Amino acid sequence: MAQVIDRRLNGKNKSAVNRQKFIRRFQKQIKKAVTDAIAERSVTDLNKGEKVSIPAKDIHEPFFHHGEGGKREKIFPGNKDFQTGDKIKRPQGGAGQGGGNEASDSGEGQDDFMFELSREEFLQFFFEDLELPDLIKTKLTSITETRKVRAGHTSDGIPTNINVVRSLRGALGRRIALRAPYTKRLKEAENELEDLLKRHNETDAIIINLREEIQELKQKIKRIPFIDTFDLRYNNKIDQPKPTTQAVMFCIMDVSGSMGQEEKDMAKRFFMLLYLFLTKTYEKIQVVFISHHTLASEVDEETFFYSRETGGTVVSSALKLVSTIIQDRYPSSEWNIYAAQASDGDNWHNDSKFCHQILTEKIMPYMQYYAYIEITEDRHQNLWQEYLNLKQEWGNFAMQRIEKISDIYPVFRKLFQKQSK
């Protein structure tokens, strides 16, 4: 079967159609490269595109040729090396395929194909099968808000909703329909007058009557209004109910002295991924940034990702602040509430049980989903042990551990993987 490939140039010398076909064809290779990219990027580089390497053998295009097999006894013109019946040796392998480290005097191949993903394409692959778990609460499905949507046209309405094009189109159709019989008779009468003038004078009664009829037909055509109230059409809009799906995400990061620079960088990478995922995937989403050591404070995006503040560790200060903000600004009847907490798990020992109590009584009953990420290479800390008990009590509480940079994306996917319906 023949296949036509569109090679016409679009803007910037790229074919948008072929580009999308290429991305769909090499989706697995591109997705793997995107997944590997997170381990090599800093916090400031996460929001950029990516170069993807595709093996050269995978980018061939289909073509017509003779299939293998069958008996052939012809020698092609220009052959000097073979005669009928000779066996052709298999080509020798060499330093082809690109990436060889040593020189060779034989072999051939092609370098891998480098493909540049735009920022939007990179993020699309990055987050395509992720979602916020349980976004719409059961009790929220009965609480709806409405929005105006287009629903055709109507003959009644207010002047500001007049659809000018639709009205003029209706008026034109009406004029054509009403003029049709008069226009037809007018043309016949004019032809008849032209013929009679060859045999009669202007003063003859038949000529006078015919001219009067022509004049009357023209007056009737002129009296047809250009536009009538019957022609007016108005844009019709109706109220369409939609479920309330607004959500808020609390990002809680430990910036205490026990969190070294490497641990803080991994926490920031995780939250950068989460922030990009939320802002790209959801329209009605608010993000609350909270950083804490012995004291907790709500900060803006810039401070959250680039502040160098440090101190002791009292995790309950952050949880108290979360509880206060929920009560003041985000009633659970109107908001889907999520939280993600990153820490090395090292907490003032007497405070961990207090954290358990705050979460159980003041936070988890209002949460759709709470994710805790411990960033440590050593054994689990006391906060992890306390949260294990919490996980057994609440099915919407999740825990994961990050030991090194390469763990960030796999952990992120586990926490926000789409669930089967």
Position 75 scores a pLDDT of 61
Q: Is the pLDDT of residue 109 over 90?
A: no
Q: Give the number of other Cβ atoms within 10 Å of residue 89's Cβ.
A: 6
| The residue type at 308 | R
Q: Between 45 and 326, where is the model more confident?
A: 326
- What tens digit of pLDDT does each residue of 330-344 get? 888 778 889 999 998
Position 271 scores a pLDDT of 86
Q: Is the pLDDT of residue 321 over 90?
A: yes
Nearest Cα to Cα of residue 154 among 229, 232, 228, 226: 232
Position 247 scores a pLDDT of 83
Q: Is the pLDDT of residue 132 over 60?
A: yes
Position 251 scores a pLDDT of 93
Going by the DSSP 8-state scheme, the letter that residue 142 receives in this structure is T
Q: Give the number of other Cβ atoms within 10 Å of residue 133's Cβ.
A: 16
Position 290 scores a pLDDT of 93
**β partners of residue 144:** 243
Q: Is residue 236 within 8 Å of 137, Cβ to Cβ? A: no
Least confident stretch, 111-125, 168-182, 330-344: 111-125
Nearest Cα to Cα of residue 286 among 253, 315, 251, 252: 251
Both structure tokens of 259: 């969190």
Name the helix (H) or strand (E) containing 182: helix 164-196
Nearest Cα to Cα of residue 295 among 320, 270, 273: 320
Q: In angstroms, what CA-CA distances link 173 with 91, 162, 169, 226?
A: 75, 18, 6, 11
Q: Between 242 and 103, where is the model more confident?
A: 242
Q: Is residue 166 within 8 Å of 233, Cβ to Cβ? A: yes
Spatial CB neighbours of 109, under 8 Å, sequence gap ≥ 6: 56, 94, 95, 96, 97, 98
Nearest Cα to Cα of residue 335 among 377, 287, 299: 287
- What tens digit of pLDDT does each residue of 52-65 get? 665 555 555 555 66
Both structure tokens of 66: 């003779």
Both structure tokens of 62: 């289909």
Query: Sign (positive/negative) of CA torsion 165, 168, 170, 176?
Result: negative
Q: Is the pLDDT of residue 407 over 60?
A: yes
Determine the average pLDDT of the residues in 79-102.
62
Nearest Cα to Cα of residue 218 among 175, 171, 186: 186
| The residue type at 395 | G
Q: Is residue 347 within 8 Å of 374, Cβ to Cβ? A: no
By three-state DSSP, how is residue 151 classified?
strand
Torsion of CA 7, 13, 15, 19, to 10 degrees: 120
Both structure tokens of 213: 């009829």
Least confident stretch, 23-27, 170-174, 394-398, 415-419: 23-27
Rounded to 5 degrees, φ, ψ at 405 are -60, -40
Q: Is residue 317 within 8 Å of 294, Cβ to Cβ? A: yes
Q: How far apart are CA 197 and CA 214, in angstroms?
A: 14
Position 408 scores a pLDDT of 82
Q: Is residue 316 within 8 Å of 354, Cβ to Cβ? A: yes
Q: Is residue 327 within 8 Å of 366, Cβ to Cβ? A: no
Both structure tokens of 91: 């080509």
Q: Between 242 and 88, where is the model more confident?
A: 88
Q: Is residue 186 within 8 Å of 200, Cβ to Cβ? A: no
Task: Enumerate long-range contacts of 228-232, CB under 8 Å, 24 or more apart.
Answer: 228/171, 228/174, 230/155, 230/174, 231/167, 231/168, 231/170, 231/171, 231/174, 232/155, 232/162, 232/167, 232/170
